[in-house]
């Protein structure tokens, strides 16, 4: 059962605008995550191996946000709010709690722009509200004319294969369903893209899978793709590195040696891999004419 807690604050100010996701503020209406992705960077003993069991609902989030955005708006401190940075805004419990929906209503009232990052199809419930934000939001001066509006939607994928996703992100909406939701969001006219994070070595980073990613997203007409390599952390049972290694041993035993070589002495993929990855992503972006930034480079 989820816990109901009262938060001290809900709107977090970043030190500087994130170059990838453009956030100057972040909001996490929930703590922990029912999607239980094995590779998630927030994993650890605090949440346990089944993160859904540690799920918390911030009951006063809407009231807190009203106070905090009122102050920011008075000072003309408009900036893009990312929902969410450390969980998903559309967890299964959101269908009944409607906490994210309530936060979006406050964001619309105060005319702040928003960037939603999700692995769920539940976001389609809020299309009308997100369109209103898109039309009414006040963008920071340096982003005016560079974005189509005040709403950005990023769908996260580590694979397009439902069976693979069931191993590594077992609680999330299946990719096949996610793709339909992304197509619906894109058709609604909102800026829509992909957080291709993380790609799984020898599983979803092969040439065949990468071509599938880019051809699929090109057909939908996404505005951008933000790709990133896998990083794994920790040595405790509930950390991402042991959990992913366990999954590899169980489902991909032929890859155990390769993954051990990658992550036995480091949390990140080797530098040579990351350099090759960046070159490959740039080449695919050119081939499929899909940019790898939210704001077009010629408008930065």
* Residue 48 pLDDT: 47
* Residue 45 pLDDT: 47
| 285 burial type by CB count under 10 A (0-12 exposed, 13-18 middle, 19+ buried) | middle
Confidence of residue 41 (pLDDT cuts 50, 70, 90): confident
User: Domain boundaries in the chain?
Assistant: 3-292
Model confidence pLDDT, tens digit, residues 178-195: 999 999 999 999 999 999
Confidence of residue 50 (pLDDT cuts 50, 70, 90): low
Question: In this structure, what are the phi and psi dihedrals at residue 223, rounded to the nearest 5 degrees?
Answer: -85, -25
What are the beta bridge partners of residue 12?
26
Contact of 219 with 186, CB cutoff 8 Å: no
Structure tokens at 142: 């340096």
Contact of 268 with 201, CB cutoff 8 Å: no
Q: Cα dihedral angle (131, 133, 134, 135), rounded to 10 degrees?
A: 90
Give, in degrees to the nearest 5, the angle at Cα 169 between 273 and 253: 60
Angstrom distances, CA of residue 210 to CA of 17, 219, 273: 29, 14, 15
* Residue 1 pLDDT: 79
The lowest-confidence range among 42-46, 179-183, 230-234, 283-287 is 42-46
pTM of the entire predicted model: 0.95
* Residue 3 pLDDT: 92
* Residue 49 pLDDT: 64
* Residue 44 pLDDT: 59
Model confidence pLDDT, tens digit, residues 101-157: 999 999 999 999 999 999 999 999 999 999 999 999 999 999 999 999 999 999 999
Residue 224 has pLDDT above 50, yes or no: yes
Q: Report the C-alpha gap between 219 and 248 in whole angstroms.
A: 31
Whether residue 84 has a cis bond before it, omega within 30° of 0:
yes
* Residue 233 pLDDT: 94
Residue 300 has pLDDT above 60, yes or no: no
User: For the domain 3-292, what is the CATH superfamily, name and number?
Assistant: Aldolase class I (3.20.20.70)
């Amino acid at each position: 059962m989820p816990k109901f807690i009262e938060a001290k604050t809900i709107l977090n100010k970043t030190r500087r605008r994130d170059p990838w996701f453009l956030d100057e503020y972040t909001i996490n209406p929930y703590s922990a995550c029912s999607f239980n992705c094995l590779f998630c960077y927030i994993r650890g003993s605090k949440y346990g191996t089944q993160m859904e069991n540690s799920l918390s609902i911030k009951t006063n989030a809407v009231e807190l946000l009203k106070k905090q955005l009122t102050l920011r708006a008075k000072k003309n401190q408009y900036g893009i709010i990312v929902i969410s940075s450390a969980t998903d805004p559309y967890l299964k419990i959101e269908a009944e709690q409607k906490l994210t929906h309530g936060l979006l209503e406050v964001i619309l009232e105060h005319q702040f722009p928003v960037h939603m990052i999700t692995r769920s199809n539940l976001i389609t419930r809020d299309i009308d509200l997100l369109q209103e934000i898109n039309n009414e939001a006040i963008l920071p001066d340096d982003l005016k004319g560079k974005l189509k509006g005040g709403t950005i939607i990023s769908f996260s994928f580590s694979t397009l294969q439902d069976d693979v996703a069931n191993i590594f992100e077992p609680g999330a909406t299946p990719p096949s369903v996610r793709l339909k939701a992304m197509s619906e969001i894109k058709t609604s006219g909102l800026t829509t893209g992909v957080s291709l994070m993380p790609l799984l070595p020898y599983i979803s980073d092969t040439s065949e899978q990468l071509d599938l990613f880019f051809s699929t997203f090109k057909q939908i007409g996404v505005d951008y793709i933000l790709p990133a390599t896998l990083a794994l952390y920790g040595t405790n049972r509930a950390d991402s590195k042991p959990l992913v290694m366990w999954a590899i041993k169980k489902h991909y035993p032929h890859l155990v040696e390769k993954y051990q070589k990658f992550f036995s002495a480091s949390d990140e993929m080797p530098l040579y891999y990351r350099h090759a990855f960046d070159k490959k992503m740039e080449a695919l972006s050119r081939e499929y004419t899909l940019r790898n930034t939210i704001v077009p480079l010629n408008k930065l």
